[in-house]
Amino acid sequence: MAELKHLHAQIIVNGLLQENLTVGKLIAFCAISDAGNLSYARLVFDQIAEPNRFMWNSLIRGYSKSNFPREVFPLYHRMRGLGLSPNEFTLPFVLKACASELAYRESLLIHADAIKLGIGSQVCVQNALLSVYTACGSIESSRSVFDDIVDRTLVSWNSMIGGYSKMGFCKEAFSLFQEMRDLGLEPDEFTLVSLLSVCAQTENFDLGRYVHFYIEITGTSIDLFVRNAIVDMYAKCGHLHLAQKYFDRMPDRNVVSWTSIVSACARNGLFDQAQKMFDQMPTKNVVSWNSMISCYVQHGKCREALDLFTQMLNSRVEPDEVTLVSILAACSQIGDLITGKETHIYISNSSITPSIALCNSLIDMYAKCGPVDTALDLFNQMPEKNLVSWNVMIGGLAMHGRGLDAVKLFEKMLKNGVAPDGFTFVGVLNACSHSGFVDMGRYYFDIMTHVYGVPHEIEHYACMVDLLGRGGHLEEAVKLIGGMPVRPDVVIWGALLGACRIHGNVEIGKQVLKQILELEPHSGGLHVLISNIYSEAQRWGDVKNVRKLMKDNGIKKDKALSVIEIDGHVHEFMVEDKSHENSSNIYSMIYQLTNHLRSIGYLSNNPGVPLDVNEI
């Protein structure tokens, strides 16, 4: 650029600014070349009294492939306003900007301009229209344009097949591929990658294997992109051994190849193998780290995910939004507020502009880790919210027993014109349940279908059973369950069983037990719950029967994992867990507390103390 600026200075000194050809080439180089400078191109362009079409096209093209594609729109409208007609070289780059910005309305206007100008039938314009309509999710518009193309090039076929692939329309993509083959047109790497990709998305192993066989039988020359797509297809279709076998045979591999096979192992629960291969990767990029971290989080291995995140930072790999969303999800699951706060600080100090999704993850983390007011502050500070934002915050308030605040937020959401969905009503009904708003809960359960058209799902019935049960309306809860259009699951029966314990209703509890034994005959936690109902009602014979049932069937109470944070360190433990370095001191203190309670007669005289399995 230094030499180019010197050349620009010479143009000015020698009075050549009126030479459109020379200045046009200067603008084109600055706008389009990788060694250029788009800002400098704009500076030179703005100094030209009457830029010609070539200059406009060069600047529009530069912005279309930059980080600021939206700048194309005012440039294009200004060009039209000055009476300069765009041509077949202008519109494809304007449409490319529309695709980058998902500007469907703008693309319709450009399409109309193309028809008015008589260049709508130019193949390059039609291919650009295919791409933008696909990017905007209007596959019908894409197909309409495709059907109007008289002389279809391979780019046209690839654009349409790629559009179907992106939308997950496997049948349509392969139908078009067959039509293309019938016309004697051979596929290239782009065609094959699109076909393999849609097979991976839809987990269509048979068609994916057909594409692989087609490549092998025809001897089609393929590149690394296609080979990676084959590995990914086999992996996502659940055939890990075939993915591994093909990966091992690949003559060369890149970071995408390694990431695909590592992700496949992790998705199938083979974490040791995935970690081993991850450690063997010659190079790792942020996608590689994200893939491994997200798989750990999705399988509930949140501590491992956080450890891997630490390794990632130590490796000087810059996390992106995908990384941070996964880490915040891990913190939410295990209640790790310390790491959650550190992640928030990292985001604040970085150059990342948080998206709505990242803000939602922060809100969710704070709500689930305790400080719900911090979550509410972040929610209120969001410049733009989506439905997920409202749902997360309503659910967070409900979780903390702030039912009235949750309901008020829901009403505010409706006033803002945001339409609720099923998740919204789960949060609202939970809020009513945790705060004892029985009548309000009945009201919202009723209007969700009649007013908002949101169908009752099993989660909403579970909320209502919990709400009615907590409020002592057990008969109404039983009636609601009896009228459900789907078979009640163990969550619904468990909610009713919990209500039976609260209100000491042994008879309904016995009925519920029969239903639970059919669904989950080996659930230790539910058996303990019913035994506690009997013990609190002092029905010792029934307690012994439950104990005998558990013993005969080898049922034991599930050991839950507890987490406690002390001085910034998170400690995990289970019942009878002796893995902690201070376990001897911990158990010594427990024995002292137990002896003290016994000495004052608490354990023997308090009938409200539930029995554990070992005490039944």
3-state secondary structure at position 609? coil
Is residue 197 predicted with pLDDT exceeding 60? yes
> Tokens in use for 62?
């530069």
Task: Provide the 3-class DSSP secondary structure of residue 566.
Answer: strand
* Tens-digit pLDDT profile for residues 220-239: 889 999 999 999 999 999 89
Q: What is the pLDDT of residues 594-603, one digit of tens each?
A: 888 888 776 5
DSSP secondary structure of 501-559:
HHHT-HHHHHHHHHHHHHH-TT-HHHHHHHHHHHHHTT-HHHHHHHHHHHHHTT--PPP
As a whole number, the mean pLDDT across the chain is 87
The CATH classification number of 456-558 equals: 1.25.40
Q: Dihedrals φ, ψ of 569, to 5°?
A: -115, 135
What are the extents of the domains in the chain? 1-51, 68-149, 152-256, 284-381, 385-436, 456-558, 561-600
Least Cα distance to 327 among 275, 290, 380, 372 occurs for 290
> Which of 503, 507, 509 minimizes the C-alpha distance to 528?
509
Furthest-apart CA pair in the chain: how many Å?
A: 108
pLDDT in tens, 126-142: 999 999 999 998 999 99
What b/e sequence results for 221-251 when a residue is b if at least 16 CB atoms lie within 10 Å of its CB, and e otherwise?
ebeeebbbbbbbbbbbbebbebbbebbeeee
Nearest to 53 by CA among 18, 95, 82: 82
Domains 152-256 and 456-558 belong to one CATH topology: yes
Q: What is the pLDDT of residues 11-26, one digit of tens each?
A: 665 655 566 677 778 8
Highest mean pLDDT among 175-179, 250-254, 572-576, 582-586: 175-179
pLDDT tens column, 360-396? 999 999 999 989 999 999 999 999 999 999 999 999 9
User: 259 to each of 255, 263, 330, 355, how far by Cα in Å?
Assistant: 6, 6, 21, 25
CA atoms within 13 A on the CB side of 28: 11
Superfamily of domain 152-256: Tetratricopeptide repeat domain (1.25.40.10)
Retrieve residue 418's tokens.
Answer: 């945001």
How far apart are alpha carbons 78 and 48 in whole angstroms? 14
End-to-end Cα, the chain, rounded Å: 82
Q: How far is Cα 344 from Cα 338, in angstroms, rounded to an integer?
A: 10
CA dist., res. 377 & res. 134, Å (int) = 38
If pLDDT is split at 50, 70 and 90, which confidence band does 616 have? very low
Write down the pLDDT at residue 614: 44
Q: 399, 381, 467, 457: which is closest to 429 by C-alpha? A: 467
Rounded distance, CA 68 to CA 100, Å? Answer: 9
> What is d(CA 493, CA 513) in angstroms, rounded to the nearest whole number?
8
Tokens of 543: 């307690």
Report the candidate in 202, 371, 425 with the shortest Cα–Cα distance to residue 363: 371
Q: Which two tokens stand for residue 141?
A: 């518009």
Q: What is the CATH number of domain 284-381?
A: 1.25.40
442-458: string of b/e by CB count within 10 Å (b at 16+)?
Answer: bebbeebeeeeebebee
